[in-house]
């Protein structure tokens, strides 16, 4: 039975775990492997690991890091960063990763989605849409290369195109809300949700358990992803890895879904 997923997202920069604010000012928060070990103990639903250096520097994925994370990880793992070919995607899957995320490569070469899907299965192909809002026009646009290159493409239109090419999931990441911890951009999520039937994960802005609940209430079967929420604690953002307990998670999701169905 499909259910909502609550997903920590780890950003890797120079082999360290970092958090950003609006895709800038990466703050070191620890070692990725140590974070994975803690999330194992907390029985998280799924884990996203994004290497924010690979695409920006036109580098190969760090297969050693991926292998180390996949070996330690006891939950479904999605990796993204630097994937530009079928061969790279296949190699990553063989290391024990369940899903491969692609972003800029999908925009630049949409056929890559179909090519990778044929080799590893569509369920293992996640397209990540990093999105900014144009405040002047009031529209959303997809950006690539860590938010430095504007594609001038509408995220809903791209998501639909990628769905038709065989992508198995779409992750909608708000650059404006990244690290701000003031809630998800539900308007953006709804804009993409209305365009596709793909499983959807939403990232960017979660600052409390209530934000996760609000997202699940709105979209029911959704991936509620967060970074800062699961690595920071308190107003001074002390580093502390956290995640809802099994009981807290069940109460959160049942309350959200119960209100939807009431």
DSSP string, 122-152: GGGEEEEEEEEEETTTTEEEEEETTTTEEEE
The single residue of 51, 130, 154, 185 carrying the catalytic annotation is 130
Q: Which residue has the tokens 């990725």?
A: 32
3-state secondary structure 42-105: CCCCCEEEEECCCCCCCCCCCHHHHHHHHHHCCCCEEEECCCCCHHHHHHHHHCCCCEEEECHH
11-42: per-residue pLDDT in tens? Answer: 999 999 999 999 999 999 999 999 999 999 99
Q: Which residue has the tokens 């029911």?
A: 220
- What confidence category does residue 1 fall into, taking pLDDT thresholds of 50, 70 and 90? low
Q: What angle do CA 48, 154, 118 make, to 5 degrees?
A: 55
Number of domains in the chain: 1
183-205: per-residue pLDDT in tens? Answer: 999 999 999 999 999 999 999 99
Q: Which of 214, 216, 182, 187 is nearest to 201 (CA)?
A: 216
What is the per-residue pLDDT for 58?
86
Q: What is the CATH number of the domain that holds 221?
A: 3.20.20.70
What is the per-residue pLDDT for 2?
75
Active site annotation includes 31: no
What is the per-residue pLDDT for 234?
86
Buried b (16+ CB within 10 A) or exposed e, 115-124: bbbeebebeb
- What confidence category does residue 262 fall into, taking pLDDT thresholds of 50, 70 and 90? very low
Gap between the Cα atoms of 130 and 224, Å rounded: 16
CA-based radius of gyration for the chain: 17
| 238's tokens | 């002390």
pTM as predicted: 0.95
Q: Quote the domain boundaries for residue 30.
A: 5-261
């Amino acid at each position: 039975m499909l259910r909502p997923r609550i997903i920590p997202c780890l950003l890797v920069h120079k082999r360290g775990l970092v958090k950003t604010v609006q895709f800038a000012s990466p703050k070191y928060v620890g070692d990725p492997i140590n974070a994975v070990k803690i999330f194992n103990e907390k029985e998280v639903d799924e884990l996203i690991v994004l290497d924010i250096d690979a695409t920006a520097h036109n580098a190969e994925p760090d297969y050693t890091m991926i292998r180390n994370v996949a070996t330690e990880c006891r939950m479904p793992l999605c990796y993204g960063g630097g994937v530009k070919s079928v061969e790279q995607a296949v190699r990553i899957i063989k290391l024990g990763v369940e899903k491969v995320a692609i972003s800029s490569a999908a925009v630049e070469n949409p056929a890559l989605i179909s090519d990778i899907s044929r080799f590893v299965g569509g369920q293992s192909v996640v397209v990540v849409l990093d999105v900014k809002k144009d405040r002047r026009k009031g529209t959303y646009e997809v950006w690539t290369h860590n938010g430095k290159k504007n594609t001038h493409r509408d995220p809903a239109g791209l998501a639909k195109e990628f769905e038709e090419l065989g992508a198995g999931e779409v992750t909608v990441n708000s650059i404006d809300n990244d690290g701000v911890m003031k809630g998800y951009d539900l308007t953006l999520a709804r804009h993409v949700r209305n365009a596709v039937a793909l499983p959807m994960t939403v990232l960017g802005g979660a600052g409390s358990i209530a934000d996760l609940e609000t997202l699940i209430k709105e979209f029911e079967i959704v991936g509620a992803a967060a970074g800062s929420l699961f690595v920071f604690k308190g107003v001074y953002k002390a580093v502390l890895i956290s995640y809802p307990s099994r009981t807290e998670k069940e109460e959160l999701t049942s309350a959200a879904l119960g209100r939807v169905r009431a």
